[in-house]
Amino acid sequence: MRAAAVDFLAHLAAAPPLTVTASMTNIGVQFPEAIMRISPLFSLLFFPIVAVAAAPDTYRVEWTVALEAGVDSAQVNLSFEDAAPVERVSFSYDPERFENFRVTSGELHVEDARVTWEPAATNASLSYRVKITRARQNSNQDESYDALMTDEWALFRGERITPRMRVTARDGAESAAVLRFVPPKGWSVNTAWPIDQGDAREHVYLLDDPDRAFDRPRGWFIMGRLATQRAHVGSHTLFSVSAPLHSGVDRMGWLALVSLVWPEFEKAFGEVPAKLLMVSGDDPLWRGGLSGPNSFFFHGSRRAISENGTSPLFHELAHVVTRISGDDNDDWIAEGLAEYYGIELLYRAGGYDADMRAEVLDTLMAWGGHSSKLRARNSTGKTTARAVLAFDALDREIREQSAGGANLDAVTRLLMIKRRVSLTDLRDAYREVTGGNSAVLAAIE
């Protein structure tokens, strides 16, 4: 066999040279022109090596979440198809909600509300049980919950049933994760994650968060006996509104309003999610709105547009799309932008005329214009109202500085890239867009 191989390689070396086509450069390596005519031996030996080196180093992860109707807990299983790239998985947990940690292989240590698992290369899975229902205080309700399990349906966030995990893996290795739900018979499932079309099983979704090397279920989930309305809004977004059957949720009204305004979201922010989920329900769910990755919760009693002209609905949608959060004492940036765009995009879509928009801002001035300061760890209602006025002034300043060539949208898009932002980041983004410093932002301490 060795002699035959030598003869074969000698035959290749003596063959006429091949011309490498331009498509070969798609692998991301550029070659001098002299090397672009190479022998078959060179192409046989060299290019497979490059292809292997360029292949991503991924390991397959599967999350399985099983529920039983009326049982206020989920059985969660994390498994690795091949755990060889994974050295350690560790995380903290709430002992009042998480229990019964088990593994199929490797070493497991559970102590002081912290789990450390060193999985074996094969047959590696970790399981536990976690309570679903979670109370949330609200002065307007005797009891309220931001996660709830009933005999007919369940509503919760993925972050509440899967702890934030630290995964020590081989350098460059990233997870390729899927999420599988095993709901009670007859229940449907709604998530903001895309269905895994390559998996024949039911309720399997692709998890792909570009911000994280290790993917876990995040965002809002609802399942059970549901009523759901869906529509394609704007150029390419599938928007779903889902709530328990027979709940008093204005699904069609909300969906119609989002359909009218969504093109303005695309113009303002550029990239928008391909799939969005809005989950809702009645009491005893918490009477508020909470955003998550590509999804948000909005209580059925809430108005899409308040009497003062602000829009709780588009406020939450702005949070979902921009994903901006305030760093340290700059929560006003995230909350102020969400409130500003909740008003502004409705105005741009024709929901307000200029006079009505001015009346809305006057109302906010009367409410929050005398707030002592903007910078604080949590932005209160008055602080957020004042922040809207600051961003409206900043928008006018940007238009003047750029001679009408830019507005606040350009600054917001830069903040969307950074995600967690501070006043310094806001000033830097302003400077990048206009080339100068902002008098509005200079006055904020």
262 and 274 Cβ atoms separated by less than 8 Å: no
pLDDT in tens, the chain (445 residues): 434 433 433 443 444 433 333 333 333 333 333 333 334 433 433 333 333 333 358 899 999 999 999 999 999 999 999 999 999 999 999 999 999 999 999 999 999 999 999 999 999 999 999 999 999 998 889 999 999 999 999 999 999 999 999 999 988 888 999 999 999 999 999 999 999 999 999 999 999 887 788 999 999 999 999 999 999 999 999 999 999 999 999 999 999 999 999 999 999 999 899 999 999 999 999 999 999 999 999 999 999 999 999 999 999 999 999 999 999 899 999 999 999 999 999 999 999 999 999 999 999 999 887 666 899 888 988 999 999 999 999 999 999 999 999 999 999 999 999 999 999 999 999 999 999 999 999 999 8
**Which of 437, 438, 309 lies closest to 385 in space, CA to CA?**
309
Q: For helices 312-322 and 408-418, what crossing angle results, to 10°?
A: 60
DSSP secondary structure letter of residue 122: S
Coil vs helix vs strand at 155: strand
Position 116 scores a pLDDT of: 98
Q: Which residues of 383-397 are buried (b: 16+ CB within 10 A; e: fewer)?
A: bbbbbbbbbbebbeb
Cα(89)–Cα(86) distance, rounded to whole angstroms? 8
What CATH number should be reported for the domain holding residue 91? 2.60.40.3650
Coil vs helix vs strand at 201: coil
Question: 65 and 20, same structural domain?
Answer: no
Question: 169 and 201, same structural domain?
Answer: yes
Question: 173 and 103, same structural domain?
Answer: yes
Using a 10 angstrom Cβ sphere, with 0-12 exposed, 13-18 middle and 19 or more buried, the burial of residue 14 is exposed
C-alpha to C-alpha distances, 69 to 98, 102, 225, 284, 289, nearest whole angstrom: 19, 23, 11, 18, 26
Q: Is 120 part of a structural domain of the chain?
A: yes
Question: 72 and 212, same structural domain?
Answer: yes
Q: Looking at this protein, which amino acid is placed at residue 378?
A: N
Distance of CA 369 to the CA centre of its chain: 33
Q: Is 299 part of a structural domain of the chain?
A: no
**Which of 119, 216, 205, 207 lies closest to 168 in space, CA to CA?**
119
Question: 50 and 79, same structural domain?
Answer: no
Q: What is the pTM of this model?
A: 0.84
Q: Is 29 part of a structural domain of the chain?
A: yes
Contacts of 420 (CB under 8 A, 6+ apart): 324, 325, 326, 327
Cα(209)–Cα(237) distance, rounded to whole angstroms? 18
Cα(276)–Cα(223) distance, rounded to whole angstroms? 16
Question: 409 and 358, same structural domain?
Answer: yes
Question: 199 and 250, same structural domain?
Answer: yes
Position 19 scores a pLDDT of: 34
Q: Where are the alpha helices (DSSP H) in 37-142?
A: 40-54
217 and 179 Cβ atoms separated by less than 8 Å: yes
Which of 33, 54, 75 corresponds to the end of one domain?
A: 54
Which domain, by its residues, includes 25? Answer: 2-54
393 and 440 Cβ atoms separated by less than 8 Å: yes
